[in-house]
């Protein structure tokens, strides 16, 4: 009887760990990924302004370095690093 209770407790513990591991493996989407509806790895103005990327929408023309009408992660990073350097901080990789 005691072994049965121990086995049940261990089984419940293992099942709980498996459930927790399964839910933790699904990483949350970034704001950029959520806003990129067509999954082309670039945000159009419409995608930027419709998604949760309010800063990108507000500064879209400044971020669009090559003036192609789309903003990529690299352009956003370059814009943000430029602002950091202007404030005397080091750029992020």
Q: Where are the domains of the chain?
A: 32-86
Mean pLDDT of 33-43: 95
pLDDT at 21: 47
Distance between CA atoms of residues 86 and 6, nearest Å: 62
| Burial of residue 49, with CB atoms counted within 10 A of its CB: 0-12 exposed, 13-18 middle, 19 or more buried | middle
* pLDDT of 28 strictly over 90: no
CATH of domain 32-86: 1.10.238.10
pLDDT at 23: 44
Q: Are 63 and 71 in contact (CB under 8 A)?
A: yes
* pLDDT of 26 strictly over 50: yes
Higher pLDDT, 65 or 4: 65
Residue with tokens 């690093």: 81
Pick the closest to residue 56 from 39, 38, 41, 44 (CA basis). Answer: 44
* pLDDT of 2 strictly over 50: yes
* pLDDT of 41 strictly over 90: yes
E strands along 1-57, which residues? 43-44
Q: Which residues contact 91 (CB under 8 A, 6 or more apart)?
A: 81, 84, 85
């Amino acid at each position: 009887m005691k072994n049965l209770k121990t086995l049940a407790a261990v089984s419940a513990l293992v099942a709980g760990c498996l459930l927790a591991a399964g839910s933790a493996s699904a990483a949350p989407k970034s704001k950029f990924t959520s806003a990129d509806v067509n999954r082309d790895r670039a945000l159009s103005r419409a995608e930027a302004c419709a998604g949760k990327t309010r800063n990108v929408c507000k500064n879209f023309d400044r971020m669009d370095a090559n003036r192609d009408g789309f903003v990529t992660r690299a352009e956003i990073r370059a814009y943000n690093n430029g602002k950091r350097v202007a404030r005397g901080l080091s750029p992020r990789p």
